[in-house]
Amino acid sequence: MIINILCSLFIILFVFLSLTIKWMLATWQHLTIEELIYHLNTSLEGTNKDLIRQFLIEVLLPTVLIYLVIVGISVLVKRFTKLNRLRSIFAVTVCTAAIICVGMITKAMEQLDVETYLRLQSETSDFIGTYYVAPDDVDIIFPEEKRNLIFIFLESMETTYADIDLGGAFEESCIPELTSLAIQGEDFSGSEEAINGGHVMSNASWTIAGMFAQSSGLPLKTQTGNDSMEGRETFFSQIVCLGDILEEAGYQNMLMVGSDATFGGRELYYTEHGNYIISDYMTAVEEQRIDPHYKFGQWGYEDAKLFAYAKEEITALAETDEPFNFTMLTVDTHFEDGTVCQLCGDEFGDNQYANVYACSSKQVNEFITWLQEQPFYENTTVVISGDHLTMDSDFCNGIAEDYERKTYTCILNAAAEVEYPEKRREYTTFDIFPTTLAAMGVEIEGNRLALGTNLFSGESTLLELMDYQTLDEEMRKNSSFMIEQENLEEDLEMAECPSGEYSVELNSEDNKLLIYLSELDGKSHTLGKLYAVVKSAETQYEVEFAELENGEYCAVLDVGQLAGADISIEYYWQDIAGEAYHMDTVTRSLAWMQLATVSEYMEALCDTQYSILLAVQGEVESKLTEGMIEYLKQLGLSTDWCYIDNMSYYAVINNDTIIEEYGTGMIYYEGRLSGVPYQVISCGGETDFCNIALDARIHAIGETGINIVVYDAVSKKVVDSVCLKGDLSSEIIRHG
């Protein structure tokens, strides 16, 4: 019996692995091992649900069906033959499945060139550190009148899609408008008619890696081979990037994408390097530009909306007194075969991807025409660049084997002249970094930044100094420079103060503020003392924590000492050497904390202009009284609480927008409030968990009941956090 079960498990495993590899190789024919490792270590958040659905249909479902067939055959064999014959059949099936699986693994290793990857990973190179030019070590001088920058990343856009006569690889151009723009602007093709673009190096061949390469001049790689930024709090924080330079020069930076900006670490990168304002799918929901449940192609919203929203945001940025950098990323042309929108035609018949590229070309051209008609355009530089080569499985199958595929490049209205206008340049996407600044009229000492060269200058690029294969292999090797940068990141994380869970409540009887700290994580620090600094208006008090019997810490302050209703509490850890580390800051409103009854609290919620986030934890519906349900209706919530058992429920109320959902098991929602990301998770029934997080920090009390966080989206401060049991006579819980 045990042998049969083990055989069945092995068969399922081998079949699943074989089908997974087959699906992966068919879906991503040009997949690199570096990209595979990156995405295996990235969360599914923001992932195209079409791909997930395709995986379920083409891999998981056949695996289940094959398993059921095996079970059925086993039952029949067991009934009509001897046990040893059944085992023989199982053994043959296991061996066959194993051979097929080994064959698929071998094929995958060949296609991904794992042998070369492992060889290069065994070598550590000083190449990047040797050729790296640190931006903070050279003079970067902006013109007296700073120029605006509009940087348009085009998803998977290549020069390949132009016609053969103009440097592409297709008989008929899919991107005639983009080709005309490249000829009209600057693509560094010199005197040749064929348009030119950037070579894509390893570790720069997927979206966030491509965006990072073009704005930092570096490949996205770490010493561990786990190139994902998932779980990190920083994104190579010590490296100076385009956004950092522009922010220091007084620019307003903004990133707009039609998908979830958190995917792949984009939000982390752009907020850390340049303090970009993020406008993405979640922002569009928050600003009521789209319905909360609207999805186009499973990613977010289509490029037609992206360009429309971009016009609004750019117009608003141009009305300020500061120069601006507006960066945007299209998505309709993402593989597989792109996503058809209402603007797409059928000039390429059944070739959907070609139709989508043609549509993208027209939309970009229309957007550029609009820009050129605006009063701010005279002082604005536009950079249009493909983020990477397409990963579509078959779109480029028919092109000549010796054709060099490159990303699309075009710079419009540059404030720089090409030093050698007749020369056709050989360059990588790393060179876009300094070239973008130069196009804005910025003088760069030595004309090199990071691994990039200013293409307007006469300086040679790395690709002009060495062949592609040599340069690419150096990008794939372990880099002592990138290892050093990663170690700096780890050192910074180690230097961060310990963490814990924080809560505050008010003892109304003696008017004392009770400040709690629990789940203390001391990391590498040795504790000297814990204390909090409580600030309100012009007053500030330091109070020390005392350890309680349950392992928590508590500090007490007389509320009468505070001058205002709005308070902030800064938590500090001091080590034995006297070095103090700021752990966290919690904000509250004393006016809300002084609400004594559930009825008063619900009335305050009904009257407030603050944002309200609710999440149910555990079994609640049976405890809800008619009075509480009436208050919930007054808030504008429409769920019928009376007929749902073991209910999970969340709601987000922001101005006139209400997002709510109920169900069983875990349900969740993510969005933004004034640019601040939030997450609500509800687990009803017997599950003892819920979550209300703002800016990646948990604020829910986490007790059984209706957990509520009141948030001031204007000042971006938490006003109060409570848990209500469900009836009007129970107490308000503020400390778990």
Ordered mean pLDDT values, 10 residues apiece, the chain (736 residues): 63 70 61 52 47 66 72 62 57 69 69 62 81 96 97 97 95 97 97 96 91 96 56 83 97 95 88 94 89 80 96 96 96 88 94 96 98 97 96 81 94 97 97 98 97 97 94 88 77 62 88 90 77 91 92 91 88 87 91 93 95 93 89 90 79 91 87 86 86 89 94 94 93 89
Report the alpha-carbon distance of residue 220 to residue 566 in Å, rounded: 43
Fold exhibited by the domain 496-589: Immunoglobulin-like (2.60.40)
Distance of CA 689 to the CA centre of its chain: 25
Handedness of CA 540, 546, 552, 554 (dihedral sign): negative
Residue span(s) of the chain under CATH 2.60.40.10 come to 496-589
Report the alpha-carbon distance of residue 154 to residue 320 in Å, rounded: 27
Report the predicted TM-score, pTM, of the whole model to 2 decimal places: 0.68
Residue span(s) of the chain under CATH 3.40.720.10 come to 127-489
φ, ψ at 550 (rounded to 5°):
-85, 10
- The owner of tokens 């025409």 is 369
Q: Which helix (H) or strand (E) holds 302?
A: none
pLDDT of residue 589: 94
Report the alpha-carbon distance of residue 617 to residue 597 in Å, rounded: 21
pLDDT of residue 673: 87
Q: Which helix (H) or strand (E) holds 561?
A: none
- The encoded tokens of residue 500 equal 């814990």
CB-CB contact of 637 with 658 (8 Å): yes
Computed on alpha carbons and rounded to an integer, the radius of gyration of the chain in Å comes to 29
Report the alpha-carbon distance of residue 477 to residue 223 in Å, rounded: 9
CATH number of 127-489: 3.40.720.10
Long-range contacts of 283-288 (CB under 8 A, 24+ apart): 283/672, 283/675, 284/258, 284/309, 285/659, 285/671, 285/672, 286/654, 286/657, 286/671, 286/672, 286/673, 286/674, 288/656, 288/657
Contacts of 584 (CB under 8 A, 6+ apart): 499, 500, 502, 570, 571, 697
Q: How far is CA 170 from CA 129, 160, 305, 355, in A?
A: 39, 7, 29, 14
pLDDT of residue 56: 67
pLDDT of residue 39: 45
CB-CB contact of 554 with 516 (8 Å): yes
pLDDT of residue 565: 85
Number of H-type helices and E-type strands within the chain: 21, 30
The residue among 433, 432, 430, 435 whose CA lies nearest residue 415 is 435
| Three-state secondary-structure class, residue 678 | strand
The residue among 203, 195, 289, 274 whose CA lies nearest residue 239 is 274
Beta bridge partners of 254: 277, 326
Handedness of CA 463, 466, 467, 468 (dihedral sign): negative
Beta bridge partners of 409: 385
pLDDT of residue 723: 95
The arrangement of strands across the sheet holding 527-536 comes to 539-544, 527-536, 566-575, 580-589
Distance of CA 686 to the CA centre of its chain: 33
